Chains A and B, each alone.
Chain A
């Protein structure tokens, strides 16, 4: 009997492996293999016309943080690289925060409509996705440039005497990112707000909680899964964004995504590009760990 049982288990586990093998294959080819290539590249030296020379070196990694002096090989902290890393981090954190600030009330508004209207509002939230990202970003450019609609209106109204420089600033990048990624915040937050038991809000109100307290003590803690999901969905693509800083930052305010592209393109320094890519991954992972850990402790405080 025992051997029969073990044969059965063996066949079962074989079937199981067979069933997940297509997915495993995709993951290996699509995610693990390229990542491995990048890790290997980051420890090599750049080839003369792109590509790599198979000479092991830590040079690429050193240059993530330090500049090597051309003449005496001394290392100094790299102002440019740190500035780009810091800008990417700040801009994407600001974007996440602003998306939450705008997205939460929007999601709450939609979740409290009647079911028929909810569908319409949700559809409207996804409308921007129907248009190409480039077109939308160009449209923003047109809105905020010096001769654009906003400046023209303000000038005509006499509120300002000279056009405000909005385009090609960090603010413009942030604005563009918030606009592009806002739906990614609204949708998960909406999903958790929509499941919220309305009775709990009445119960809180019944127990002397003013509207703001109801929001802070009941709605926010209970929609935390949506807030965390939304923040992750906004933070990750915005820290690695490429198009927005080019079109709205004017190429002067580089973000890490542009910097990586530069290394693989004009810079012809694949190992360095690989090292920065991996640095970006590291930053994202650390940020997520901190965020989720923090969210958890807040949850424990509440209960």
Chain B
């Protein structure tokens, strides 16, 4: 017990690593990870499958022990504490409801193991059933209720004993789209209502952006970036984050000598463009310019002079609120994804094969090292 209490921090990971196997067959599932998760926070671990996000969650839950490093809960080292002694509960990916128990017995299981009184358990179970709006199903077996209801039972079961931290392992991925959207809102409001720290694992970037206070983006066992959804989306720290969180266009560029307008980049096919950056770009250095599809404006090719990208439309797909275009650039630097919001009275004015120009405002773009 290190007794290192930092106010506001619920979970602190210090240089946590997890490797499987031994000798030459070692696989590092989590590389040295240091991370603070705050109290009262909806925190999301986001990454593709195999990035180590679930392993990280399992380390916090106690189902795996770290190879090296410490895990602090409210300042106390819990790295080697078994799950049944951690005030941390989990909503499992497949819910893991006990099939031999009713809904109410499932919800009361944790409290029963904590040897709470019968009356207290009954009262708390009723409260939880009300919270997830399943009062009418308390006596049902878990096999007799729908996927969405099972999900809510799993949630109620994990919240019943008022854990300090709630872990959610891809908990919404088995639900259909509509229900998932609904549960996202419900989870978010539950988190606000209970004040419990939620740590959510998902590979769905949209879900992560919608629900989280902060997001950690992971790739092959390493944290790529931690930040608010806004930061992660608009100021990605590197190419991986830019690519994984939302859709992105990468344009090749080369640094120029900065002038009064700031950092100057020589963009292929456009020429010198001033783009705001935090870091200075050395003249001649290769860089990637990141532009989100919704920040590009597409219009039929006009006779305007050079400083624009031109190309021919390859595909047009109508997606309801927006239309997506892919444009093959005429300077040969590949495909560009453009998203345009639809208005009700609009006629599709751009069709496949059309020559178009694509413009963007430099301050919506971002420079990443090449």
Chain A positions near chain B (C-beta within 8 angstroms): 197, 199-200, 202-210, 213, 217-218, 221-222, 299, 302-303
The residue of chain B having its C-beta at the shortest distance from the C-beta of A299 within the complex is B100
Contact partner of A199 (CB less than 8 A), chosen from B92, B101, B110, B158, is B92
**B83 — which chain A residues lie within 8 A by C-beta?**
202, 205-206
Contact, CB under 8 Å: B100 / A202? no
Report yes or no: B94 in contact with A199, Cβ–Cβ below 8 A.
Answer: yes
Q: Bound state CA distance, A203 and B62, in angstroms?
A: 11
Candidates B63, B82, B99, B157; contact of A207 at CB < 8 Å? B157
10 cross-chain CB contacts under 8 A: A199-B96, A202-B83, A205-B84, A206-B84, A206-B90, A208-B110, A210-B113, A218-B98, A302-B101, A302-B105
Do residues A197 and B141 form an inter-chain contact, with CB atoms below 8 A? Answer: no
Mostly helix, strand, loop or mixed at chain A's interface? helix
- Among A200, A208, A303, which residue has its beta carbon within 8 angstroms of that of B113? A208
Give every chain A residue within 8 A of B92 (Cβ-Cβ).
199, 202-203
Task: Report chain A residues within 8 Å CB of B19.
Answer: none
B98 and A208 form a contact (CB under 8 A): no
CB of B1 closer than 8 Å to a CB of A: no
Q: Which residues of A contact B97 (CB under 8 A)?
A: 203
Most chain B beta-carbon contacts within 10 A, residue among A197, A208, A209, A303: A208
A202 to B62, CA, bound (A): 10
Question: Per-residue 0/1 for B102-142: is the Cβ within 8 Å of any A Cβ (1 yes, 0 no)?
Answer: 10010001100110000000000000000000000000010
Shortest A287–chain B CB gap in Å is 25
Distance, CA A200 to CA B98, complexed state (A): 7
Q: Pick from B61, B99, B161: contact of A208, CB below 8 A.
A: B161
Q: Chain A contacts of B100 at CB under 8 A?
A: 221-222, 299, 302-303
Q: In the complex, given contacts A205-B82, A206-B61, A208-B84, what are 7 additional A-B residue pairs having Cβ atoms less than 8 angstroms apart?
A: A199-B96, A203-B97, A206-B84, A208-B110, A210-B84, A303-B105, A303-B141
For the complex formed, measure the closest distance between the CB of B110 and the CB atoms of chain A, giving whole angstroms.
Answer: 4
Assembly CA distance A213 to B205 (angstroms): 39
Contact A207 B161 (CB under 8 A): yes
**Residues of chain B with a CB closer than 8 A to A207's CB:** 84, 89, 109-110, 113, 157-158, 161
The listed residue with most A CB atoms (<10 A of its CB), out of B61, B102, B113, B157, is B113
Q: With CB as the reference atom, state the residue of chain A lying closest to B160.
A: A207
- Chain B residues whose C-beta falls within 8 Å of the C-beta of A222 in the assembled complex: 99-100
Residues of B within 8 Å of A303, CB to CB, are 100-102, 105, 141
CB distance from A286 to the nearest CB of B (A): 27
Contact A202:B96 (CB < 8 A) given known A207-B109, A207-B110, A303-B101: yes
- Within 8 Å CB of B61, what residues of A? 206
Give min CB distance, B235 to chain A, whole Å: 36
Please name the residue on chain B nearest to A200 by beta carbon: B96
Chain A's closest residue to B139 (CB) is A303
With the chains together, A219 CA to B68 CA distance in Å? Answer: 32
B 35-77 contacts with A by CB, 8 A: 61-63
Tell me, in angstroms, the Cα distance from A222 to B161 when the chains sit together.
24
Contact of A197 among B96, B157, B158 (CB under 8 A): B96
| Cβ-neighbour of A209 out of B84, B99, B141 (below 8 A) | B84
User: A245 vs B345: C-alpha distance in the bound complex, in angstroms?
Assistant: 94
CB distance from B122 to the nearest CB of A (A): 16
Give A199's nearest chain B residue, CB to CB. Answer: B96
